[in-house]
């Protein structure tokens, strides 16, 4: 299905690998010009951009960006607006996680996860919001997780950050709705080939798989398809919604 994304200017944070890479590639496939951001892995970021440009002959590019630093985010987004004239779609995907029990998880690690996952999302929304609100158009999709709905043992900091993203989205959707700016959440379940998935012990993964109705883990491309629907004009009457894509795990 070709969702209404052709010609859109889309920004995907954390787009160098995993779910972010799959989202960027899917957006390009559907006709969007894509700008991905990455923190440090320029090799993987360049691979993503090369794949997009080779397949779809678009104007995609990668920007190094620390979403925790609002000044840097603001400068990067202003440059995108200068270069492209608009930002139609923002996907807040950049995130970090750590599988650690609360008793041994340092406060510094908590700070890093909350600063990246919550404040990073807020920084990007704030940097683009005035433009979207003035233009009275735009779509923002925040990537949460079933960890923010169901909770996962030894991922309390990650779960807290992802639950916060859902609450943030519900509040901002009410602020933005009268300006025709939509903001939603996609909450993936256990998705193979992602950083969080790779941090979970094998014995735990086997137990989690038994709880999934579809009896398998998801693929990044399946999350990308859900994201591209909800951020497209085909979802024009959806805002403040959390779209759970987890194979039935959280039901």
Task: For residues 68 and 92, give the distance between their C-alpha atoms in angstroms, rounded to a whole number.
Answer: 12
Instruction: Give the Cα separation of 190 and 220 in Å (integer).
Output: 10
Q: What is the CA radius of gyration of the chain?
A: 17
Give residues with Cβ within 8 angstroms of 24, minimum separation 6. 10, 12, 15, 34, 36, 48, 52, 60
Which token pair is 170? 């519900």
Residues listed for the chain: 251
Give 141's strand partners: 91, 184
CB-based contact 128:140 (threshold 8 Å): yes
Query: Which positions are catalytic?
Result: 158
């Amino acid at each position: 299905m070709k969702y209404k994304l052709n010609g859109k200017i889309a920004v995907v944070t954390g787009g160098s690998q995993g779910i972010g890479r799959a989202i960027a590639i899917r957006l390009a496939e559907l006709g969007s010009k894509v700008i991905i951001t990455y923190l440090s892995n320029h090799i993987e970021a360049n691979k993503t951009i090369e794949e997009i440009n080779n397949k779809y002959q678009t104007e995609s590019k990668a920007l190094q960006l620390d979403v925790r630093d609002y000044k840097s985010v603001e400068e990067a987004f202003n440059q995108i607006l200068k270069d492209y004239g608009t930002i139609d779609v923002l996907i807040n995907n950049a995130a970090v996680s750590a599988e650690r029990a609360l008793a041994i998880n340092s406060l510094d690690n908590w700070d890093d996860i909350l600063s990246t996952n919550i404040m990073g999302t807020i920084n990007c929304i704030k940097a683009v919001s005035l433009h979207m609100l003035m233009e009275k158009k735009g779509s923002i999709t925040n990537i949460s997780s079933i960890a923010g709905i169901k909770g996962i043992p030894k991922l309390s900091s990650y779960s807290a950050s992802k639950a916060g993203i859902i609450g943030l989205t519900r509040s901002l959707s009410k602020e933005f709705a009268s300006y025709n700016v939509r903001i939603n959440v996609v909450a993936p379940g256990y998705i193979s080939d992602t950083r969080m998935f790779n941090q979970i012990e094998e014995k735990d993964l086997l137990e989690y798989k038994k709880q999934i109705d579809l009896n398998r883990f998801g693929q990044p491309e399946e999350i990308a398809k859900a994201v591209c629907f909800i951020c497209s004009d085909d979802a024009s009457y959806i805002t403040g919604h959390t779209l759970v894509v987890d194979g039935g795990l959280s039901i």
